């Protein structure tokens, strides 16, 4: 049995969330129980724990900008798309080795394309375009199209591995992803997901 480790958001913002809660809660809840907001409000965790099979495949995930890391279990696989969840409800969607969506983190990646990137990874190099979608502060879908190049990294980590970098430039944003490959398989990677979150690193176990 592998113990589940949850990806925790740090408590840095607790004080202000609590303040707002206390101040706004003077309104009472609506729809359901009045006052429910205060009672059920939890400023730090992403939500309800999900039940996952502890024998399911796992990945280790870390998010540098949040200073958090933890383990996620696979909860579904449909074709080459897999969905992964932490015990506290943070979600990652992979298409092959690419992150195409995140959930439960705030500045989430709504959805992204991965085909060009996946083909280039197989070939070890390539140029292609990627589209990423996010919801902005008003919950409107915003997309950015990136021109990307994937190539072998100049510095290589270990003799048994090699690294590939994917450099993407869009009208507003530039980012670089790194994939570490051993025996023809991506074993870990660092991928950019949004301005607010930065990069997410994950490694298959």
Site string for another protein, 62-81 (x = CB under 8 A): -------------xx-x--x
Among 4, 5, 38, 201, binds another protein (CB under 8 A): 38
What is the DSSP secondary-structure string of 47-61? Answer: SS-----TTS-EEEE
Three-state SS sequence of 70-127:
EEEEEEEEECCEEEEECCCCCEEEEECCEEEEEECCCCCCCEECCHHHHHHHHHCCEE
Query: What is the closest distance, in whole angstroms, from the C-beta atom of residue 4 to another protein in the complex?
Result: 14
Indicate whether 4 belongs to the interface with another protein (CB under 8 A). Answer: no
Cα–Cα distance, 151 to 18 (Å, whole number): 47
Question: Among the candidate windows 9-17, 150-158, 168-176, 181-189, which touches another protein by CB under 8 A?
Answer: 9-17
Among 108, 179, 191, 202, binds another protein (CB under 8 A): 108
CA angle 108, 169, 202 (to 5 degrees): 45
Indicate whether 112 belongs to the interface with another protein (CB under 8 A). Answer: yes
Cα–Cα distance, 84 to 198 (Å, whole number): 19
Query: What is the closest distance, in whole angstroms, from the C-beta atom of residue 113 to another protein in the complex?
Result: 4
Binding site for another protein (CB under 8 A): 9, 13, 16-17, 19-39, 41-43, 46-48, 50, 75-76, 78, 81, 83, 85, 88-91, 93, 95, 100-101, 103-108, 110-113, 131, 133, 135-141, 195-197
């Amino acid at each position: 049995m592998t113990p589940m480790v949850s990806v925790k958001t740090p408590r840095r913002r607790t004080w202000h969330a609590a303040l707002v809660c206390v101040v706004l809660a003077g309104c009472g809840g609506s729809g359901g129980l009045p006052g429910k907001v205060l009672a059920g409000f939890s400023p730090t965790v992403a939500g309800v724990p999900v039940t996952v099979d502890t024998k399911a495949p796992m990945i280790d995930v870390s998010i540098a900008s949040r200073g958090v890391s933890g383990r996620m279990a696979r909860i579904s696989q449909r074709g080459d798309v897999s969905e992964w969840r932490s015990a506290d409800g943070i979600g990652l969607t992979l298409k092959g080795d690419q992150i195409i969506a995140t959930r439960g983190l705030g500045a989430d990646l709504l959805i992204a394309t991965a085909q060009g990137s996946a083909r280039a990874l197989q070939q070890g190099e390539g140029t292609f375009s990627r589209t990423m979608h996010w919801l902005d502060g008003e919950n409107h879908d915003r997309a950015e199209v990136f021109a990307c190049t994937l190539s072998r990294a100049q510095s290589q980590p270990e003799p048994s591995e090699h690294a590939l970098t994917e450099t993407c430039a869009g009208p507003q944003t530039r980012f670089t992803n790194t994939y570490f490959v051993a025996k023809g398989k991506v074993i870990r990677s660092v991928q950019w997901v949004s301005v607010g979150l930065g990069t997410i690193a994950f490694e298959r176990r």
